Structure 1
Amino acid sequence: MNVNVGERRVALIRAAIETALAPVALEVVDESHLHAGHEGARDGRGHFAVHVVSAAFAGLRPLARHRLVFDAVGELMRTDIHALSIRAQTPDEAGGG
């Protein structure tokens, strides 16, 4: 995969999550290279891992938190993301609150 494509995708994911969830911490990692040759990687979309720390997750169970992240990246799931690993925490859970 072209490095510029991966960097562009990371920037798009980061911007979408920052806009929707106002995180106090956000890490987006392109793990596409770990899945080269994988059946699901053949369509050209990437594999990513995100760690999001946001007050928006307060009082929500993990599934609801993941839905917020998937809603944030929206159309990118069809165009740029094949797989998204999510770690979603509140600031208190992450030790920052």
Structure 2
Amino acid sequence: MTQTPTGPVATQIEQLLRAALAPERLAVIDDSIKHRGHAGHDPRGESHFTVEITAKAFAGKARVQRHRLVNQALADLLRDRVHALAIVARAPDEG
């Protein structure tokens, strides 16, 4: 299952994660509307995301190692554009 990103930042997140981790399943969810008026909210939108990703690259890795792989793939966006990223990272055999 893949959720299609709708905005340019979400699309870039999807492209970067596909290139870096070749996921079997990927959902990029824009949570920005939930954070309107909070610290870090960007009036342009696309500032808060949840990524649900299943990839073979996560097999045998601890949660923090999986998150580091995602963060490395998105480093430039996290530094310059994305304020918050929630990550759900699974190996294929974890359902």
Higher helix share: 1
Shorter-chain TM range is: 0.7 to 0.9
> Structure 1: which 4+ aligned runs deviate by more than 4 Å?
42-45
Cα distance, 1:43 vs structure 2: 7.7
Equivalenced residues, count:
89
Larger radius of gyration: 1
Between the two proteins, what is the percent identity of the paired residues?
40
Q: Where does structure 1 lack aligned partners over 5 or more consecutive residues?
A: 1-5
* Aligned twin of 1:68: 69
Which whole-Å CA distance do the structure 2 matches of 1:61 and 1:12 have between them? Answer: 26
| Aligned alpha-carbon RMSD (Å) | 1.5
Q: Flag structure 2 segments of 5+ consecutive residues without an equivalent.
A: 1-5
**What are the Cα deviations for residues 55-74 of structure 1, in whole angstroms up to 9, with x where unaligned?**
00011000000000000111
Superposition pairs for residues 1-97 of structure 1, below 5 Å?
Answer: 7-42=7-42, 46-94=47-95
Deviations 1:24-77 (A, max 9, x none): 000000000000010121585600000000000011000000000000111000
Distance 2:53 2:31 in 1: 16
**Does the aligned pair in 1 maintain the 2:40–2:47 contact within 8 Å?**
no
One-letter amino acid matched to 1:79: D
For residues 88 and 8 of structure 1, the distance between their equivalents in structure 2, rounded to whole angstroms, comes to 22
Instruction: For 2:35 and 2:41, locate their aligned partners in 1 and report how far apart those are by CA, in whole Å.
Output: 7
| Distance in structure 1 (CA, Å) of the matches to 2:42 and 2:9 | 16
TM-score normalized with structure 1 length: 0.86
2:3 maps to which residue? Answer: none
